[in-house]
Amino acid sequence: MDAFKLLSGLNEPQRVAVSAPRSHFLVLAGAGSGKTRVLVHRIAWLLEVEKCSETSIMAVTFTTKAAKEMKDRLDKLIGIAKEDMWIGTFHSLSYRLLCSHYLQAHLPSNFQILDSEDQSRLLERLIKSMNLDSKKWSASKSACYINNKKEKGLRPQDINNYDSFTESTWIRIYKTYQDSCERSGLVDFSELLLRSYELLRDQPQIRDYYQTRFTNILVDEFQDTNHIQYEWIRILSGVSSKVVIVGDDDQSIYGWRGAQVENIQRFIQDFSGAVTIRLEQNYRSQNNILVAANSLISYNNVRLGKKLWTEEGNGDQIIIYHALDDLDEARFIVSSLKEWVREERSLDQCAILYRTNAQARILEEILLENNIPYQLYSGTHFFQRKEIKDLLAYLRLIVNRNDDTAFERVINTPLRRIGTQTLERIRQISRDYKLTLWQSSQELLKRKGLLGSMVASSLKSFIVLVDELDQSTKEFPLDVQTQQVLHNSGLWIMYRDSKKEIDQSRIGNLEELVTLSRKYASFQHTYSEMTPLQDFLSYTMIDLGVENDRNKRKDSVKLMTVHGSKGLEFLQVFIVGMEEGIFPSQISLKKGGELEEERRLAYVGITRAMQRLTLTYAKKRRLYGQEVSYMPSRFISELPDHCVKKIVFNTGMDQHLNKEAMASSLIDKETYFSIGQRVNHKKFGLGTVINISGIGKDRRVQVVFKNQDVKWLVAVYARLSVQ
């Protein structure tokens, strides 16, 4: 394909990004600006015009879906040999590195990936074995601590703060967990990245090979990278490598899980000569929506700056509905959806977004009441379902007998008279002798008299079963192997004979897994010495396969968190709960940086809308069992007057919204306090008002004080002075 064809249909900044000489540069791509198209055409340009080798290109994405879309578009554009080019997520590419060099990475050849649920189960067991209070030292908190340290590139021995008892205990949990994973040949998601980074750091020959090979590195969604991901890219890029990053600092919304929006600016500093190309023309939304989004995000201080625009017309004004309560809010949305249907338009093009999943309950209730089909984007992923994890656990044990989490999951599934007491004996031997649970079981069976004859027989039968499943299916194709394990393990009979209605649907899901293994086996995979089964198991953990959409209703409203909407687009979008303390969240009101991330999140929500956008807030709502009065979100007052119109619950009439009216509505007329106001208390000192609840004598003010204490105070007695 010639250069003219590769550049045709692109706007000027897109053409500049696609055809730029090989160099380091940032593509600052606004929402809906065609960044995926630019990435795909850039890769095609490198291959077709610059005559770069397919093996010289690595493209990194954040989701499997994005990687697949990139491959499919490249295939349609120029036709490529996909396996020669490394295109995938950070995790899948790290896995590929570790598979090729497992010995140098100090891993067994049959290492397996630990998902977040199994990580928590393993931590629960280890915390109990350490005689720690599981409420204070919970598995979830432990997982957060460990993953956070790994994302910063820290092993237990690298953490220096031993002065604090709390910190030293967390370090001890981390080390115990790490030792257990080493014994079992398990690697969690954070470990994939850290271990592959350490491999490149500590093995000069391997590092030199990949730096020489990957002379063209492209990274999507760079604003979502964390510390270890940034360092991973830096160490891969050698002297001759040219790195192109695509990102949008205005859409960085994952700070709570380690993403560092500052990485975009670090890139410009660290990669010599890097320039910035801005993609500002939007191909998704009408102009009113973009003007509102630009106005909102301009209130953030930490940003590189860009301004979205479109050749489309202004379109409808943004509706801002002031609801009486959350019930009224839901009913207004339903009436809007009914009007949409009367216009003979599809519900599938509508989305309702909320800040937290707790807000979905009342929406679901009213949608059901009005027979409006909906699809909730928070269900259990296919590979996280109980029956699927059961079968995968048997397959994992076939590959690696020392996989403790898989062992615990199926040792008594189906029931085989191995109870908690027996399992605890196995765990005790594991703790005492630093053995895996499989090894501990074999040791326990050697010691006569420790188990009753029936229990010993059951335990021995389980060990024999796993060995037989391995030996009898080893030479089978992947799908036949999967099907044989499903039937011979007893899982099929267990679910088939169950009287529970849900278990009948589980049989269908298990059949789906067998089908998926058949489809997966039809592709070629080149991950070193991995068997097809090992490769498939890692795929189910990293790539999370395909959604099981058998029961999805096509023409249905989509319900999801604003976080979950990133990357999607809809003709009509509703964003509910636009209130101080909800959106922006109460926690974010304490820190300016977190408030800026909340504003970016609102920006992401607004830019999902193509034609119609409705923002709603309620005078009062019941959330987490309490009825609270909220003030309208500051984000509403940051939208320009001419782009919006307001509808009030008690009149049903439109009222034009202006900044002065919105600012005055933020002020509590009875106490003269407002959200964000600085106050002083004689005992607690300086603070900031973050919430107001109740009326009259019951009016309460929530204040975060300088020492980070948060207190509710009765306004009439608090004697707060305004600063």
Q: Burial-class residue 175 by CB neighbours within 10 Å (0-12, 13-18, 19+).
A: middle
**What angle do the packed helices 478-488 and 501-521 form, to 10 degrees?**
160
Strand-pair category, 242-247 with 216-219:
parallel
Q: Burial-class residue 720 by CB neighbours within 10 Å (0-12, 13-18, 19+).
A: buried
- Of 144-148, 395-399, 514-518, 601-605, the range with the lowest mean pLDDT is 514-518
pLDDT at position 545, please? 41
Task: Tell whether the model's pLDDT for residue 238 goes beyond 90.
Answer: no
pLDDT at position 695, please? 52
The tens digit of pLDDT for each residue in 186-225 reads 999 999 999 999 999 999 999 999 999 999 999 999 999 9
Q: Which residues contact 119 (CB under 8 A, 6 or more apart)?
A: 143, 188, 405
* Averaged pLDDT, 546-574: 78
Q: Burial-class residue 264 by CB neighbours within 10 Å (0-12, 13-18, 19+).
A: buried
pLDDT at position 658, please? 43
Rounded to 5, what percent of the chain is helix, strand, coil? 50, 15, 35
Q: Is 35 annotated as a binding residue?
A: yes
Q: Is 32 annotated as a binding residue?
A: yes
Where do the domains of the chain lie? 3-102+193-281, 112-184, 289-380+553-665, 382-521+528-542, 678-722
Spatial distance between the Cα atoms of 127 and 8, rounded to a whole number of angstroms: 60
CA angle at residue 275 from 270 to 277, to 5 degrees?
135
The terminus-to-terminus CA distance of the chain in angstroms comes to 67
* Averaged pLDDT, 315-334: 93
Spatial distance between the Cα atoms of 437 and 417, rounded to a whole number of angstroms: 17
Spatial distance between the Cα atoms of 712 and 178, rounded to a whole number of angstroms: 42
CB atoms within 10 A of CB 100: 18
Q: What amino acid occupies position 203?
A: Q
Q: Is 292 annotated as a binding residue?
A: no
Q: Which residues contact 550 (CB under 8 A, 6 or more apart)?
A: 508, 512
Homologous superfamily (CATH) of 382-521+528-542 is PCRA; domain 4 (1.10.486.10)
Pick the CATH number of 289-380+553-665 from 3.40.50.300, 3.30.590.10, 3.40.309.10, 3.40.30.10: 3.40.50.300
Q: Is 29 annotated as a binding residue?
A: yes
Spatial distance between the Cα atoms of 374 and 556, rounded to a whole number of angstroms: 4
Task: Tell whether the model's pLDDT for residue 484 goes beyond 80.
Answer: yes
Choose, from 221, 224, 329, 404, the residue flagged as catalytic.
Answer: 221
H or E stretch covering 257: none
35: annotated active-site residue: yes
pLDDT at position 555, please? 86
> Which 3 state secondary structure label does DSSP give 372?
coil
Contact indicator for 632, 659 with CB cutoff of 8 Å: no
Q: Is 36 annotated as a binding residue?
A: yes
Choose, from 36, 63, 356, 688, the residue flagged as catalytic.
Answer: 36
The tens digit of pLDDT for each residue in 14-47 reads 999 999 999 999 999 999 999 999 999 999 999 9
Task: Tell whether the model's pLDDT for residue 629 goes beyond 90.
Answer: no
pLDDT at position 667, please? 39
CATH hierarchy code of domain 112-184: 1.10.10.160
Choose, from 14, 251, 422, 677, the residue flagged as catalytic.
Answer: 251
The tens digit of pLDDT for each residue in 63-121 reads 888 888 998 899 888 886 556 789 999 999 999 999 999 999 999 988 999 988 899 99
215: annotated active-site residue: no
Q: What is the DSSP letter of 66?
A: H
CB atoms within 10 A of CB 490: 16
pLDDT at position 261, please? 85
Share above pLDDT 70 across residues of the chain, in percent, rounded to a whole number:
89
pLDDT at position 553, please? 52
Domain 3-102+193-281 and domain 289-380+553-665 have a common topology: yes
**What angle do the packed helices 139-151 and 227-236 form, to 10 degrees?**
30
* Averaged pLDDT, 564-570: 92
306: annotated active-site residue: no
608: annotated active-site residue: yes
396: annotated active-site residue: no
Contact indicator for 709, 702 with CB cutoff of 8 Å: no
Choose, from 150, 385, 401, 608, the residue flagged as catalytic.
Answer: 608
* Averaged pLDDT, 567-580: 95
Q: Is 315 annotated as a binding residue?
A: no
Compute CA distances 508 → 256, 461, 495, 504, 549, whole Å.
Answer: 37, 28, 10, 7, 12
Q: Is the pTM of this model over 0.85?
A: no
pLDDT at position 596, please? 92
Q: How many Cα atoms occupy the beta-carbon half-sphere of 451 within 13 Å? A: 25
Question: Which has the higher per-residue pLDDT, 537 or 522?
Answer: 537
Q: Is 330 annotated as a binding residue?
A: no
36: annotated active-site residue: yes
Q: Is 380 annotated as a binding residue?
A: no
CA angle at residue 404 from 399 to 409, to 5 degrees?
90
The tens digit of pLDDT for each residue in 408-463 reads 999 999 998 898 889 999 999 998 899 999 999 999 998 887 888 899 999 999 99
Please determine, looking at this structure, whether the domain spanning 3-102+193-281 carries the CATH number 3.40.50.300: yes
Choose, from 115, 151, 188, 220, the residue flagged as catalytic.
Answer: 220
Peptide bond into 414 cis (omega under 30): yes
Choose, from 35, 71, 425, 612, the residue flagged as catalytic.
Answer: 35
